[in-house]
């Protein structure tokens, strides 16, 4: 039996059957390959257009015109125009099927709020580094008599003093008031009682002092008619001067502005 098997392997019929089997396998492989290529449209596709740097409106028009779907995500990017496409997936030039979804990342039009950090213990350089890390910008700088040279004495936004923790739009410019290192001289303490709040603020600023806290007493129905009823420090017979830059805290209440003619 064993001899017959080896004898069969040497016959022409075996060689023919072997070649037919190999050919059949090869044909099946080719058939599967070309079927899959046809099914998946291998090698065919539409190149993704360049969308980065375009406005989202322009990008949507292009994608619709070429038969693509799209999905949009947003991100806030400092110093980038709102509505600009900053990322796309797939990348430009990639061949994809018609109706493929293209993912776009667009700069949001509304900046998120950030909390102002406490900058007053910092030098100017330290404050700039902190401001940048919070996504804010340094605006104008001014100096005030104070022994702490180049240290932050006050932070202003839109012309008004602001305190740590105040929420402002990311990317905003904040102004810094710094010490000039010349030492703080003594200035007269103004009498602010019975003055309206805006006038008191003006006097404080022009006397080289700093506006401190404002405490509202009683019910305030008209913010335009508020007068100072107490201050700290307050001018007395024994205390007439204070250091340049001293904070003046005010207590205000509802009242009528003094008549300028009196």
Residue boundaries of the structural domains of the chain: 2-40, 46-107, 113-179, 186-254
pTM above 0.75, yes or no: no
Fold that domain 186-254 belongs to in CATH: Trypsin Inhibitor V; Chain A (3.30.10)
The residues near 164 (Cβ < 8 Å, ≥ 6 apart) are 115, 116, 117, 118, 119, 120
Mean of pLDDT over the chain: 83
The residues near 83 (Cβ < 8 Å, ≥ 6 apart) are 55, 56, 57, 106, 107, 109
Q: What is the pLDDT of residue 111?
A: 78
* Interval 235-250: pLDDT, tens: 888 888 887 778 899 9
Chain center to CA of 171? 6
The yes-or-no answer to whether 46-107 and 186-254 have a common fold is: yes
Does residue 27 sit in helix, strand or coil? helix
| Helix or strand holding residue 128 (H, E) | helix 124-133
Sort 210 into a burial class: Cβ within 10 Å, 0-12 / 13-18 / 19+: middle
Distance CA 210, CA 85 (A): 45
Nearest alpha-carbon partner for 103 in 79, 123, 119, 87 = 87
Fold that domain 113-179 belongs to in CATH: Trypsin Inhibitor V; Chain A (3.30.10)
Q: Tell me the CATH architecture of domain 46-107.
A: 2-Layer Sandwich (3.30)
Distance CA 153, CA 212 (A): 12
* Interval 198-239: pLDDT, tens: 999 999 888 878 888 999 999 888 888 899 999 999 988 888
């Amino acid at each position: 039996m064993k001899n017959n098997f080896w004898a069969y392997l040497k016959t022409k019929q075996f060689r023919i059957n072997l070649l037919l089997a190999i050919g059949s396998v090869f044909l099946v492989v080719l058939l599967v390959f070309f079927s899959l290529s046809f099914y998946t449209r291998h090698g065919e596709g539409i190149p993704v257009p360049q969308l980065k740097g375009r406005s989202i409106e322009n990008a949507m028009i292009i994608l619709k015109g070429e038969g693509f779907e799209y999905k949009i995500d947003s991100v806030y990017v400092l110093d980038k125009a709102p509505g600009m496409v900053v990322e796309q997936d797939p990348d430009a030039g990639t061949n994809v099927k018609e109706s493929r979804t293209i993912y776009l990342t667009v700069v949001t039009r509304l900046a998120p709020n950030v909390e102002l950090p406490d900058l007053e213990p910092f030098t100017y350089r330290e404050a700039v580094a902190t401001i940048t890390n919070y996504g804010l910008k340094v605006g104008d700088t001014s100096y005030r008599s104070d022994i702490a040279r180049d240290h932050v004495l006050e932070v202003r936004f839109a012309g008004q003093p602001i305190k740590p923790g105040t929420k402002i739009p990311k990317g905003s410019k904040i102004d810094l008031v710094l010490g000039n290192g010349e030492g703080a001289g003594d200035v007269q303490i103004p009498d602010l009682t019975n003055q309206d709040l805006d006038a008191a603020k003006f006097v404080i600023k022009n006397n080289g002092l700093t506006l401190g806290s404002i405490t509202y007493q009683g019910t305030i129905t008209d913010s335009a008619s508020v007068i100072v009823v107490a201050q700290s420090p307050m001018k007395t017979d024994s205390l007439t001067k204070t250091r340049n830059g001293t904070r003046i805290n005010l207590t205000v209440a509802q009242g009528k502005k003094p008549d300028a003619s009196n």
